[in-house]
Amino acid sequence: MTPMRRLAPLLRRLPVPPLAPQAAGFALTRLLRRIAARKPSILSRLGPHEDSRFLIELHDAPLVLLMEPGARRITAHRRRAVPPHDAAIRGRLPAFLAMLHGAEDGDALFFSGELEISGDTAAVLALRNALDDAELDLTEELAAIPGQPFDRWLRHVSGFAARQSGLVLSRQEVMR
Protein backbone atom coordinates (compact mmCIF):
# COMPACT_ATOMS: atom_id res chain seq x y z
CA MET A 1 0.00 0.00 0.00
CA THR A 2 1.44 3.39 -1.01
CA PRO A 3 1.96 6.07 1.61
CA MET A 4 -0.70 8.21 -0.09
CA ARG A 5 -3.28 5.44 0.16
CA ARG A 6 -2.55 5.08 3.87
CA LEU A 7 -2.82 8.83 4.43
CA ALA A 8 -6.00 9.39 2.39
CA PRO A 9 -8.50 8.42 5.12
CA LEU A 10 -6.72 10.69 7.58
CA LEU A 11 -6.64 13.63 5.17
CA ARG A 12 -10.38 13.34 4.53
CA ARG A 13 -11.09 13.51 8.26
CA LEU A 14 -8.95 16.55 8.99
CA PRO A 15 -11.03 19.55 10.01
CA VAL A 16 -11.10 22.25 7.37
CA PRO A 17 -10.01 25.61 8.81
CA PRO A 18 -12.61 28.35 8.30
CA LEU A 19 -10.70 30.26 5.61
CA ALA A 20 -9.16 27.24 3.89
CA PRO A 21 -11.70 27.09 1.03
CA GLN A 22 -11.20 30.77 0.21
CA ALA A 23 -7.40 30.54 0.42
CA ALA A 24 -7.32 27.40 -1.71
CA GLY A 25 -9.67 28.94 -4.26
CA PHE A 26 -7.59 32.12 -4.44
CA ALA A 27 -4.34 30.22 -5.00
CA LEU A 28 -5.85 27.83 -7.55
CA THR A 29 -7.54 30.68 -9.43
CA ARG A 30 -4.20 32.49 -9.70
CA LEU A 31 -2.60 29.28 -11.00
CA LEU A 32 -5.43 28.71 -13.52
CA ARG A 33 -5.16 32.30 -14.80
CA ARG A 34 -1.41 31.94 -15.14
CA ILE A 35 -1.76 28.69 -17.06
CA ALA A 36 -4.50 30.17 -19.29
CA ALA A 37 -2.24 33.15 -20.09
CA ARG A 38 0.75 30.92 -20.85
CA LYS A 39 -1.25 28.30 -22.75
CA PRO A 40 -4.31 30.03 -24.25
CA SER A 41 -5.02 27.01 -26.46
CA ILE A 42 -6.46 25.24 -23.40
CA LEU A 43 -9.48 27.53 -23.37
CA SER A 44 -9.92 27.65 -27.13
CA ARG A 45 -9.77 23.83 -27.22
CA LEU A 46 -12.80 23.70 -24.91
CA GLY A 47 -14.89 25.33 -27.63
CA PRO A 48 -18.55 25.54 -26.63
CA HIS A 49 -17.73 24.02 -23.22
CA GLU A 50 -15.55 26.95 -22.09
CA ASP A 51 -18.40 28.23 -19.89
CA SER A 52 -19.13 24.82 -18.36
CA ARG A 53 -18.68 24.39 -14.61
CA PHE A 54 -16.53 21.36 -13.75
CA LEU A 55 -16.66 19.79 -10.31
CA ILE A 56 -13.43 18.05 -9.33
CA GLU A 57 -14.02 15.78 -6.38
CA LEU A 58 -10.90 14.10 -5.11
CA HIS A 59 -11.93 11.33 -2.72
CA ASP A 60 -8.76 11.80 -0.68
CA ALA A 61 -9.09 15.57 -0.20
CA PRO A 62 -11.18 17.46 2.34
CA LEU A 63 -12.54 19.97 -0.21
CA VAL A 64 -14.14 19.77 -3.65
CA LEU A 65 -13.15 22.14 -6.45
CA LEU A 66 -15.33 23.95 -8.96
CA MET A 67 -13.45 24.98 -12.09
CA GLU A 68 -15.02 27.60 -14.35
CA PRO A 69 -12.62 27.95 -17.30
CA GLY A 70 -14.52 30.78 -19.00
CA ALA A 71 -14.37 32.88 -15.84
CA ARG A 72 -10.80 31.67 -15.22
CA ARG A 73 -11.78 30.75 -11.69
CA ILE A 74 -11.46 27.78 -9.36
CA THR A 75 -13.31 27.80 -6.08
CA ALA A 76 -12.97 25.34 -3.22
CA HIS A 77 -15.99 24.12 -1.28
CA ARG A 78 -16.65 21.96 1.72
CA ARG A 79 -17.88 18.48 0.81
CA ARG A 80 -21.27 19.10 2.39
CA ALA A 81 -21.79 22.19 0.18
CA VAL A 82 -21.19 20.86 -3.35
CA PRO A 83 -21.92 23.73 -5.76
CA PRO A 84 -24.07 23.44 -8.90
CA HIS A 85 -22.06 22.12 -11.82
CA ASP A 86 -22.46 20.91 -15.40
CA ALA A 87 -20.00 18.03 -15.25
CA ALA A 88 -18.06 16.20 -12.57
CA ILE A 89 -14.84 14.24 -12.38
CA ARG A 90 -14.45 12.12 -9.27
CA GLY A 91 -11.63 9.88 -8.14
CA ARG A 92 -8.49 9.65 -6.09
CA LEU A 93 -5.71 12.22 -6.31
CA PRO A 94 -3.13 9.78 -7.75
CA ALA A 95 -5.37 8.96 -10.73
CA PHE A 96 -6.19 12.60 -11.38
CA LEU A 97 -2.53 13.70 -11.24
CA ALA A 98 -1.47 10.77 -13.46
CA MET A 99 -4.04 11.83 -16.07
CA LEU A 100 -3.15 15.52 -15.80
CA HIS A 101 0.58 14.84 -16.28
CA GLY A 102 0.10 12.32 -19.08
CA ALA A 103 1.40 9.30 -17.16
CA GLU A 104 -1.93 7.48 -17.53
CA ASP A 105 -4.46 7.60 -20.35
CA GLY A 106 -7.60 9.45 -19.27
CA ASP A 107 -9.88 7.05 -21.15
CA ALA A 108 -8.26 4.05 -19.47
CA LEU A 109 -8.71 5.67 -16.04
CA PHE A 110 -12.39 6.32 -16.79
CA PHE A 111 -13.03 2.81 -18.14
CA SER A 112 -11.24 1.18 -15.20
CA GLY A 113 -13.37 3.17 -12.76
CA GLU A 114 -10.38 4.96 -11.21
CA LEU A 115 -11.96 8.21 -12.38
CA GLU A 116 -15.72 8.67 -12.69
CA ILE A 117 -17.48 11.26 -14.78
CA SER A 118 -21.04 12.48 -14.65
CA GLY A 119 -23.09 15.25 -16.16
CA ASP A 120 -22.11 16.67 -19.54
CA THR A 121 -19.70 14.02 -20.79
CA ALA A 122 -18.93 16.03 -23.94
CA ALA A 123 -17.65 18.85 -21.72
CA VAL A 124 -15.47 16.42 -19.74
CA LEU A 125 -14.07 14.98 -22.97
CA ALA A 126 -13.29 18.49 -24.24
CA LEU A 127 -11.55 19.32 -20.95
CA ARG A 128 -9.52 16.11 -21.00
CA ASN A 129 -8.46 16.74 -24.61
CA ALA A 130 -7.52 20.34 -23.80
CA LEU A 131 -5.41 19.23 -20.84
CA ASP A 132 -3.76 16.46 -22.90
CA ASP A 133 -2.86 18.90 -25.67
CA ALA A 134 -1.47 21.45 -23.20
CA GLU A 135 0.96 18.92 -21.70
CA LEU A 136 0.71 20.57 -18.29
CA ASP A 137 3.32 20.15 -15.62
CA LEU A 138 2.10 21.54 -12.30
CA THR A 139 5.56 21.51 -10.73
CA GLU A 140 6.97 23.56 -13.62
CA GLU A 141 3.98 25.92 -13.58
CA LEU A 142 4.53 26.58 -9.88
CA ALA A 143 8.31 26.85 -10.27
CA ALA A 144 7.91 29.42 -13.06
CA ILE A 145 5.83 31.86 -11.02
CA PRO A 146 7.62 35.21 -11.24
CA GLY A 147 9.10 36.61 -8.07
CA GLN A 148 9.45 33.36 -6.16
CA PRO A 149 13.07 32.32 -5.64
CA PHE A 150 12.38 28.68 -4.84
CA ASP A 151 12.15 27.17 -8.33
CA ARG A 152 15.13 24.80 -7.98
CA TRP A 153 14.08 23.88 -4.42
CA LEU A 154 10.48 23.26 -5.55
CA ARG A 155 11.60 20.94 -8.34
CA HIS A 156 13.83 19.03 -5.92
CA VAL A 157 11.11 18.71 -3.25
CA SER A 158 8.55 17.72 -5.87
CA GLY A 159 10.82 14.95 -7.16
CA PHE A 160 11.46 13.71 -3.63
CA ALA A 161 7.75 13.84 -2.74
CA ALA A 162 6.87 11.98 -5.94
CA ARG A 163 9.35 9.21 -5.18
CA GLN A 164 8.13 8.88 -1.59
CA SER A 165 4.39 9.09 -2.29
CA GLY A 166 4.08 7.47 -5.70
CA LEU A 167 2.18 10.53 -6.96
CA VAL A 168 2.91 11.85 -10.45
CA LEU A 169 3.74 15.45 -9.58
CA SER A 170 5.24 16.48 -12.92
CA ARG A 171 5.13 15.52 -16.56
CA GLN A 172 7.33 12.59 -17.44
CA GLU A 173 8.79 11.87 -20.84
CA VAL A 174 7.01 8.84 -22.21
CA MET A 175 9.21 6.42 -24.13
CA ARG A 176 7.40 5.06 -27.17
Domain assignment of residue 117, yes or no: yes
Establish if 168 belongs to a structural domain: no
Q: Which domain holds residue 119?
A: 3-136
Write down the pLDDT at residue 98.
Answer: 93
User: Which of 80, 79, 53 is CA-nearest to residue 68?
Assistant: 53
Question: What confidence score (pLDDT) does residue 83 get?
Answer: 94
Residue 21 falls inside a structural domain = yes
Residue 155 falls inside a structural domain: no
Cα–Cα distance for residue pair 156/144, rounded to 1 Å: 14
Does some domain include residue 145? no
Q: Residues 6 or more apart from 72 whose CB is under 8 A from it?
A: 29, 32, 33, 36
pLDDT of residue 153: 86
Choose among 125, 161, 4: nearest CA to 115: 125
* Contact present, 69 and 43 (Cβ < 8 Å): yes
pLDDT in tens, the chain (176 residues): 555 555 555 555 555 555 566 777 777 888 888 888 888 888 889 999 999 999 999 988 888 999 999 998 888 888 888 999 999 999 999 999 999 998 999 889 999 999 999 999 999 999 999 988 889 898 888 888 777 777 888 888 888 888 888 889 898 765 44
Is 63 domain-assigned?
A: yes
Number of domains making up the chain? 1
Q: Is 153 within the bounds of a domain?
A: no
Q: Is the pTM of this model over 0.85?
A: no
State the CATH number of the domain containing residue 20.
3.30.1050.10
Q: Establish if 151 belongs to a structural domain.
A: no
